[in-house]
Structure 1
Amino acid sequence: MKKRKTIFYYNVALLLLILLLVGCSDKTQEAKTDSSENASASQSEKKTDDTEESNLDKKEDKSVSTTESEKTATNDSNQTSSEETRNEESNNTAKSEEDNALSRYSSEEIEYARVWLELGVIEDVDELNVRHIPAGTLLNPEDETSASYPEDVIQLAGSRLVAGSVTYSGNGDGTINVYNVPLRWDGKNPAGEKFYTGIIENTKQVPIDQSDDEKIIELIKSLNVHH
């Protein structure tokens, strides 16, 4: 009887020991699981933080790059504007110097030279003769049937016939009316008033270029104005 009780107590103790070991094992497993989950969560949070930090760095780099590009563009723009300003000032200075070079001469003298440079047969002449012809003067003084100039005209001619001649009236707007008349009339007289009227009615309006100032000055020096 005593032996049986001893065996019973032994089995109960063994069963309790087994249950205790099983409980400890479950707790250890749960601890491991919790630890693994915490580690995983920590790694995930770290990756998220790293990703956010990387994105922030990229944004900062992009912002810095954009700022530098804007600064470069601004500097280039300022440099271009500065160069354009200098060029404009240089052009204005050159133009002012040219204007000063011609300021010593009258507007009439400059006009004579420009008209001749535009329409004269030979530009470089030793002498450029200028005659003012009043309105009412016969186109061909040697022909009594000749029509008269309806306005004051100016006749330019070189010292030789081969240099040609230009007879015109100014319009005051950079253009002139050119009369197709020769310096010396050849042919049979009388030619008839209709012939001369046709010349007057067929005058040509011609624009006059500014021309080179040096050439203008050289021609002005060769002017011989007949009054």
Structure 2
Amino acid sequence: MKKLTKIFYCNVALLLFVLLLVGCTSGKNEEAKTDPSENDSAFQSEEEINDTEESNLIDKEGDESESATDDSNETSSQETRNAESNNTSKSEEDNALSEYSSEEIEYARVWLQLGPNQELDELNVRHIPAGEPINPTDDTSASYPEDVIQLAGSRLVDGSVTYSGNGDGTINIYIVPLRWEIPPADVDENFMQEYTEDIIENTELVYIDTGDDEKIIEHTDIMNIH
């Protein structure tokens, strides 16, 4: 009887231990299922990572945009400085010629472009009114139909340029020699008239460049206007 009682109590104790073990295991599983703190923490950590990456991306785009704006501003500033420099240079060039008249500048430009010899001792300017004979040494010569200007050096080798201005940057060139030779006695008496009329009919229209300001000043400084 005592033996059976002992066995009974052992079985009860064993049963209680098993039930207790099962209860503990079930509680742990339930806690793992029902406690959202760890999952929430994991999700929160992932969201924080995404927010951090998005913030870094926005900051990077902002830096790039700011850098592009700075580059654009720097380019614009450089262009402005270049424009101001060009305007200053142009203003200085205009000031360099400001003490000379427009006529003097025109004479110098015409000679610089068309003068046979640029190494002059002096540049002589002579105004010839309309009606003057083209060849003043011959009574049969045709006359200039308009006022003309003759530019010449101090020597025959310097050559000459005879022209009329049109007021638009162009001139009419008259191919007239600086010194007229006496024609032979046996030539036709109408030779000079026909020759000078041909000069009038075959004037050449030429556009005059602005030229180099320094050379213009050099020529105006040796200019004699008659």
Q: Above 0.5 in TM-score?
A: yes
Q: Aligned pair 1:206/2:201, yes or no?
A: no
1:217 paired residue number: 217
Report Cα offsets for 1:171-202 as digits up to 9, x if no partner: 11121110111112234454254433322122
Q: What secondary structure is seen at the aligned counterpart in 2 of 1:109?
A: helix
Is structure 2 residue 23 aligned with structure 1 residue 56?
no
Please say if residues 164 and 172 of structure 2, whose CA atoms lie closer than 8 Å, have aligned partners that are also in contact: yes
Equivalences for residues 83-98 of structure 1 within 5 A: 83-98=81-96
What amino acid maps onto 1:161 in structure 2? L
Shift of 1:96: 4.3
2:144 pairs with 135, 143, 149, which one?
149
Q: Report matched runs for 1:156-171 at 5 Å.
A: 156-171=151-166
AA paired with 1:160? R
- Once structures 1 and 2 are overlaid, which stretch shifts more, 200-209 or 53-62? 53-62
The whole-number CA distance in structure 2 between the counterparts of 1:68 and 1:106 is 53
Q: 1:215 to 1:78 in 2, by over 3 A?
A: closer
Alpha-carbon deviation of 1:93? Answer: 4.2
Which stretches in structure 1 are left out of the alignment for 5+ residues?
none
Deviation at 1:211, TM superposition (A): 2.8
Whether the 8 Å contact between 2:97 and 2:217 is mirrored in structure 1 is no
Between 11-20 and 154-163, report the one with greater CA deviation: 11-20
Q: CA RMSD, aligned part only?
A: 3.5
Distance 1:20 1:125 in 2: 130
Residues paired across the two proteins, number: 221
Q: Kindly, what percent of the aligned residue pairs are identical? A: 44
After superposition, residues 102-141 of structure 1 pair within 5 angstroms as: 103=99, 105-141=100-136
Listed one character per residue, the Cα deviations across residues 18-65 of structure 1 (whole Å, up to 9, x for unaligned) are 6623642542452464389754x2563254134224313422531452
> Tell me, what secondary structure is at the counterpart of 2:146?
coil
Cα deviation per residue 1:102-154 (whole Å; 9 max; x = unaligned)?
A: x2x33323322222222111123223222222222222234444322111111
Whole-angstrom CA distance in 2 between matches of 1:66 and 1:82? 24
1:13 CA drift (Å)? 3.5
- 1:17 and 1:195, CA in 2 relative to 1: closer, same or farther beyond 3 A? same
Deviating runs (4+, > 6 A) in structure 1? 2-5
Matches within 5 A, 1:2-81: 10=9, 13=12, 17=16, 20-21=19-20, 23-31=22-30, 33-34=32-33, 39=38, 41-42=39-40, 44-70=42-68, 72-77=70-75, 79-81=77-79
Cα distance change, pair 224–63 in 1 and its aligned pair in 2 (3 A): closer
Unaligned runs of 5+ in 2: none
Alpha-carbon separation, structure 1, partners of 2:44 and 2:35: 15
Distance 1:170 1:8, change over 3 A: same
Name the aligned partner's letter for residue 34 of structure 1. K
| Matches of 1:128 and 1:11, distance apart in 2 | 143
Partner amino acid, structure 2, of 1:48: E
- Return the letter of the residue paired with 2:49: T
- Contact in 1 for aligned 2:172/2:204 (Cα 8 Å): yes
C-alpha deviation, 1:164, in angstroms? 0.3
Give the Å deviation of 1:10.
5.0
Equivalents in 1 of 2:18, 2:216: separation in Å? 125
- Alpha-carbon distance in structure 2 between the residues aligned to 1:78 and 1:217: 36
